[in-house]
């Protein structure tokens, strides 16, 4: 696709010509010697009008898993089994600095899928507690392309703050009209 600017569009867009977000999007399959001539018009919209305008494919959050291994620890003969009860990378194995003995530890709780596999084994009964950190949220945002996932949340928060500011202005105006003092 080539862009043919009209009027002052060339100066308005500068070196950043309008183009597809993903250059590998298949528009049409053509045989040798065939070509397409078309005029395309872009329309800017909002996700509240139609899902096709939404920059977010999927968004979710979850609480950070908390894994508490008892101070007595896990016996050495059960280390491998304990590690295998969790997704890869959640539990690690290290040598203690005090006596050089191996111990299991929580390496990366973010990778935990909150499976309860460890609770099915009698040998781990009373040796581990599973829970969630109530004020630590893990957000997952998938982008459709126009925004990077890192920019989506701040942009959404900005829109929300503007909506709240508009609502507060409306309430202030209503209070003034009704003669209510705040």
End-to-end Cα spacing for the chain: 58
CA proximity to 68, closest of 132, 4, 129: 129
Question: Is there a contact between 46 and 53 (Cβ–Cβ < 8 Å)?
Answer: yes
Band the pLDDT of 69: cuts 50, 70, 90.
Answer: very high
- Report which of residues 20 and 66 the model is more confident about: 66
Residues in CB range of 148: below 8 A, 6 or more apart: none
In eight-state DSSP terms, residue 160 is H
Q: What is the mean pLDDT of the segment spanning 159-172?
A: 95
β-partners of residue 128 are 69
Question: Is there a contact between 121 and 85 (Cβ–Cβ < 8 Å)?
Answer: yes
Q: What is the mean pLDDT of the segment spanning 2-16?
A: 84
Query: Would you say the pTM of this structure is higher than 0.85?
Result: no
**Cα-based distances in Å from 57 to 36, 60, 140, 142, 145:** 30, 10, 11, 5, 9
Band the pLDDT of 29: cuts 50, 70, 90.
Answer: very high
Q: Give one DSSP letter per residue of 132-155, joined into a string.
A: EEEEEEEEEEEE-SSS-HHHHHHH
Mean pLDDT score across all residues of the chain: 89
CA–CA dist 142, 144 (Å, integer): 7
Assess whether pLDDT exceeds 70 at residue 150: yes
CA–CA dist 168, 162 (Å, integer): 10
Residue 136's pLDDT is what?
95
Cα angle 147, 163, 178 (rounded to 5 degrees) comes to 175
Assess whether pLDDT exceeds 80 at residue 21: no
Residue 25's pLDDT is what?
80
Residue 182's pLDDT is what?
60
Question: Is there a contact between 83 and 104 (Cβ–Cβ < 8 Å)?
Answer: yes
Assess whether pLDDT exceeds 80 at residue 119: yes
Q: List the domains of the chain with CATH numbers.
A: 60-139 (3.30.1360.10)
Percent of the chain with pLDDT over 70: 99
């Amino acid at each position: 696709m080539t862009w043919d600017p009209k009027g002052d569009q060339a100066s308005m867009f500068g070196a950043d010509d309008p183009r597809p977000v993903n250059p590998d999007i298949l528009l049409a399959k053509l045989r040798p010697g065939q070509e397409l001539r078309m005029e395309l018009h872009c329309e800017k919209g909002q996700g509240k009008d139609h899902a096709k305008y939404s920059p977010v494919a999927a968004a979710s959050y979850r609480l950070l898993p908390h894994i508490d291994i008892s101070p007595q620890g896990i016996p050495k003969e059960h280390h491998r089994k304990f590690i295998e009860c969790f997704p890869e990378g959640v539990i690690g194995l290290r040598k203690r600095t005090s006596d050089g003995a191996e111990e299991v530890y929580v390496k990366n709780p973010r990778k935990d899928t909150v499976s309860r596999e460890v609770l099915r084994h009698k040998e781990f009964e009373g040796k581990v507690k599973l829970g969630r950190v109530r004020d630590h949220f893990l957000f997952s945002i998938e982008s459709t392309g126009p925004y990077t996932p890192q920019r989506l949340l701040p942009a959404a928060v900005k829109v929300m703050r503007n909506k709240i500011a508009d609502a507060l202005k409306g309430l202030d105006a209503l209070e003034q009209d009704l003669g209510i003092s705040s």
